[in-house]
Structure 1
Amino acid sequence: MAFKPIWYVLITPVGGTAQDVSFYVSDMTASGGGGLGSSGSPPSGGAVAIDIQDSTTDQASTFSLNLWDHENTGLLTQFGIGDEVQVWTDTRESQSDITETATVTTAGISVPVKAWLSLSDTSLQTSTSVDGKMWGPFAPVNPDGTIQSPPYRWIKVNSGSATVTYKAMPKRLTGLVTQYDTGQSGPNFKAIALSGQDYTSKTMNVLVTGAYLNQTYDYIIKDILSIYFPDITTNHVETGAGTVDYISFQSKAAFDAFGQLANMAGWDWYVDENKDFHWFSAAENPNPIVLTNTGANANVLEGSVKVTVDGTQMQNKITFYGGSYESSARTESRLGDGQTTTWQLTYPIAKYVSYANASQLTPQTPTVSVNGVAKTVGQDGIDTGMDFYISTGQNYITQAQGATPLASGDVLTVTYTYWIPLIIQQQVDASIAQFGVFEGAMTDSSQTNTATAVAMVQGQLQQHAWPIVYAACDSWEPTFASGQNVQFNLPDHGLNDQWMRVTQVHHQMSSEDYIVTVTGYGQQA
């Protein structure tokens, strides 16, 4: 069982206005094939008219779109890199699926896809060949003559009247063109293939710099978006992920910064088809439809199931190597003997050490006293006129040259701070007991907060401490979306109503088929 698709596609050239190209979207089967062909060879194969790979978190969603300029309108030169593409798609479903009815005028109603039936402005007739139903995207006309926000799917015409039954068509993607190819095989077969990525890809091209202290996850996300992405809204940025003690980004791609926050919180994110940012708990966002290949509710295409259990990415013991953080103040005392002018301290003094992250912080200046009387201290080779000097990167303090050595019994007191390298190690004992040790390492020299580092390691362990189950299958259900949690009931493959997080939904549409490939992953049950 499968459904035929319908679609509505708008392309907005850079600096231009939106153009409805639904009429030209085609798999080009009407020309005898599906490929673009060339001047020397005709189209061949059986191309997909629209291909959308809806992804979340680890990569941007992608799309490809084939347009056939069968009316020789100059379509090949109208679009280019950076153009915005909006796509609505759905299936031609049963009459029982219709839930809304409205009476509209006939003006402006059409089904702008050449392979399908069409309604003219002057005639609204029922076609008995399709049992009174006409499929396709259209924009109903309001009483004042304005067009309602497109698009809708399903047109069911009642014979002899202007009553049209319709339902809103889901929007699948808003993206930007990153590549296009043109081809021609005859004067009446000119085609252009557009491909690109959704608005999530914009976060890959912008570097973020900033630091946040005791701020909630949603605050950090909204702040980054307001500074770097004012065109992306935040209507679906949820609260409740908790508070970040400290985190800093130094020229880090926003995509990676959002991914780091998601990994720490155990949440998920993406930019949707309306250019709105979604930040939500990965444990929530369920889809009520179960993907199953058994029983009366089977909705998985036979022979399409693939399940992989992967232990190659396991990490159940992780060591995190961060930057360095400043210690609390430490006080040490040394005794004079009438001869010694240089004393060794336990650690190099932070103020005079070029260490990981030292350049980003202002460490405490050390204090020095002799028998309780304050003395001046500076950096050897740079400062002058001081009582004591400290060499860069060394744990020694020295009296000024020519000064009288401290007498026997004199007490030299130094209060200073030093750098502590941030090293965190966490493990999952239950996984180690079952599978043995699988060690991994994480490195982020910009990270100096212990609590944040622990959260990052815990997020990594949650994803990799156990074997991962990947499942993919084809269905005709178009309601699945990346980021959802879906039950996979594929008992002959060892999955019994197992909840899995959807990482990709692949929509492929031709004139005859609408196939949806759903890919999810979860930990081995």
Structure 2
Amino acid sequence: MITITHNGTDITDKVSLDGFEINDERNSTRDTLNFTVEKQPSGFTPVLNAEIIVTKDSVRIFGGSIISMQTAIEAAPTVIYSVDCVDYTHQMDRKLVIERFLDQTVEDIITTLVASYAPTYTVANVAAARVISRISFNRLTLSECFDKLAKLSNYSWYVDYNKDIHFFERNEEPAPFNLSDTSNNFVFSSLRIKSDLSQLRNIIQVQGGDQPTTSRTTLAAGDGAKTEFPTNFKFSSTPTVTVNGVSKTVGTEYIDTTGFDCYWSFQEKYVRFDPTAIPPVPTGPATTNIAMTGTPLVPLVAVVPDNESVVTYGEFEHSVIEKSLQSQDETITRGLAELEAYAAAITDASFDTYTPGLKSGQLITIDSTLHGVTADYVIQSVRFRPFPNGSAIDGVWSVTLASTASMTLVEALRSLLKKEELEADEMEVLLAFYRYADSGNGDDTVDDASYTTRPYYLANGAGVVSAGTPFICNFAKLEA
């Protein structure tokens, strides 16, 4: 039995189930409800911002508020209201957050934010013990705050239909049921599983950040006129320079302008000699007389193959450049993460079910011998369409899934993320604005007005003229 209330009043018999639809998209995306009301004269009229709750057998399957309406008249006097609703996330975002937190767990931060900015909401399903070193929220909605925390901690979140916040490790919240050939909890003929090799990658070439290596020396020969010599490397620090074995003073190009024998450019990889210190032609049997020695920066590089995938499908190479990687181990781990996501065929799925309880972001397992699949999937969306009240079945949920391998690499890179210090701070002043209401009034009267003739001059309180220059009144100069 489907029941719909509008600000606590049952309006089930006022709502047309044709076009009635609940859409639950991935996690923090707001869920929506769409329905129509055919209003007769003196009949029910929906109200913007009204709370809408939909229950099935007393269990909530939607909770939120009306955010927009559109009217149409097909046959007078009936007015058709097309009503759009969003879940409780919309009401939660009414206030802007201005806060900074130091060395607190994600769970404690969310608890504090909800208590301060959305006290009618609860945090019973927030489970995140990871510590954030520093984070600030500068005029953000609660949704934006949760998004920021989720990005830092690799978690997901949503607001359920009872106004409770769920904040959980990505792809770790299990669905209330799984699917098999004999589970009898989905429309058997509706299950569709798609396999796709278009994103196959089984040899990953990863280039990380630049790291210093062993010291190198670049040799060059002077000719008595040339002033600029390439170093061939980006040295990690100022190199040493000798000419005919004699050390030269080295400044930094564009920063130091005078006082040095030569100047080193990191980006352009050269040493330029001052006109007063131009290297001469090598003497004797020597072919070079300039030595530029430093520690070069070289990129971290790793080639990571998946041999089993290569044997099955052949070689499919892919290149990744990620300058944030700071060690060889991290570079290899990055390649392994890419293989985890793309070294096998990607499978997506969809099905219909009459069983409620599925929510986007939940992890569900399909174990089907007939389809030849045993895999975990992440629920991407859930759409509910009711059947007329009195039907043997209340309605159907249409569910779309994505294999865990086809999800964003944020999930696959969890091992890298856990090594990083969790910190996000814009280092800016948090500005809070407050409104004050104030007013005042006054009046004045003149009992006996007296007048003088021009010109008018400035005078002090005793009436003594302080200057002989006429003054300006209302932008007009007053004089005789």
| TM-score for the superposition, normalised by structure 1 | 0.54
| Paired AA for residue 396 in structure 2 | I
Q: CA deviation at 1:376?
A: 3.8
Q: How does 1:117-132 map to 2 (within 5 A)?
A: none
Q: CA deviation at 1:379?
A: 0.7
Q: CA deviation at 1:191?
A: 0.8
Distance 2:11 2:333 in 1: 51
Q: CA deviation at 1:193?
A: 2.4
Distance 1:221 1:380 in 2: 49
Mind listing any 5+ residue stretches in structure 2 that lack a counterpart?
97-102, 134-143, 406-480
Q: Structure 1 pair 473/333, CA: closer, same or farther in 2 (3 Å)?
A: closer
Indicate conservation of the 8 Å contact 1:380/1:390, yes or no.
no
Distance 1:259 1:270 in 2: 7
Distance 1:290 1:502 in 2: 11
What is the aligned partner in structure 2 of residue 286 from structure 1? 174
Indicate conservation of the 8 Å contact 1:181/1:193, yes or no.
yes
Select which of 315, 325, 336 maps to 2:210.
325
Distance 1:287 1:65 in 2: 25
Secondary structure in 1 aligned to 2:357?
coil
Q: Does 1:6 align with 2:16?
A: no
Indicate conservation of the 8 Å contact 1:54/1:505, yes or no.
yes
Q: CA deviation at 1:479?
A: 1.6
Q: CA deviation at 1:436?
A: 1.6
Secondary structure in 1 aligned to 2:39?
coil
Indicate conservation of the 8 Å contact 2:38/2:79, yes or no.
yes
Distance 1:330 1:84 in 2: 71
CA displacement 1:156-196 (0-9 Å, x = unmatched): xxxxxxxxxxxxx346565894x654333333433132155
Q: CA deviation at 1:467?
A: 1.7
| Paired AA for residue 518 in structure 1 | V
| Paired AA for residue 11 in structure 2 | F
Indicate conservation of the 8 Å contact 1:53/1:62, yes or no.
yes
CA displacement 1:250-303 (0-9 Å, x = unmatched): xxx9999888778xxxx6523232473523153x43345333563xx6222353
Q: How does 1:81-480 map to 2 (within 5 A)?
A: 87=53, 89-90=55-56, 92=57, 153=58, 169-170=59-60, 172=62, 177=67, 180-185=69-74, 186-194=76-84, 199=89, 236-239=126-129, 269-273=156-160, 274=163, 276=165, 278-280=167-169, 282=171, 284-287=172-175, 289-292=177-180, 294=182, 298-320=184-206, 324-327=209-212, 330=215, 332=217, 339=224, 342-349=228-235, 364-366=237-239, 375-379=249-253, 383-391=257-265, 393-403=267-277, 405=279, 414=292, 416=294, 418-421=296-299, 423-443=301-321, 447-450=324-327, 454-480=332-358
Q: CA deviation at 1:402?
A: 2.1
Select which of 49, 59, 64 maps to 2:33.
64
Measured on the aligned residues, the alpha-carbon RMSD in Å equals: 5.1
Q: CA deviation at 1:404?
A: 6.1
| TM-score for the superposition, normalised by structure 2 | 0.58
CA displacement 1:102-127 (0-9 Å, x = unmatched): xxxxxxxxxxxxxxxxxxxxxxxxxx
Indicate conservation of the 8 Å contact 2:361/2:378, yes or no.
yes
What is the aligned partner in structure 2 of residue 47 from structure 1? 19
CA displacement 1:323-376 (0-9 Å, x = unmatched): x435358453758889576544231446xxxxxxxxxxxxx4555577686724
Q: CA deviation at 1:490?
A: 4.7
What is the aligned partner in structure 2 of residue 123 from structure 1? none
Q: Structure 1 pair 62/474, CA: closer, same or farther in 2 (3 Å)?
A: same
| Paired AA for residue 308 in structure 1 | K
| Paired AA for residue 52 in structure 1 | N
Distance 1:305 1:422 in 2: 45
Distance 1:270 1:491 in 2: 33
| Paired AA for residue 89 in structure 1 | T
Secondary structure in 1 aligned to 2:233?
coil
Q: CA deviation at 1:382?
A: 6.8
What is the aligned partner in structure 2 of residue 518 from structure 1? 399
Q: CA deviation at 1:27?
A: 4.8
**Percentage identity across paired residues of the two chains:** 16
Q: Structure 1 pair 193/509, CA: closer, same or farther in 2 (3 Å)?
A: same
CA displacement 1:54-105 (0-9 Å, x = unmatched): 424xx835423225263757846x43xxx69765533x3xxxxxxxxxxxxx
| Paired AA for residue 23 in structure 1 | I
Q: CA deviation at 1:510?
A: 4.7
Secondary structure in 2 aligned to 1:463?
helix
User: Highest CA radius of gyration, 1 or 2?
Assistant: 2
CA displacement 1:14-52 (0-9 Å, x = unmatched): xxxxx44752686515xxxxxxxxxxxxxxxx322x412
Mind listing any 5+ residue stretches in structure 1 that lack a counterpart?
10-18, 30-45, 93-152, 154-168, 207-214, 245-252, 351-363
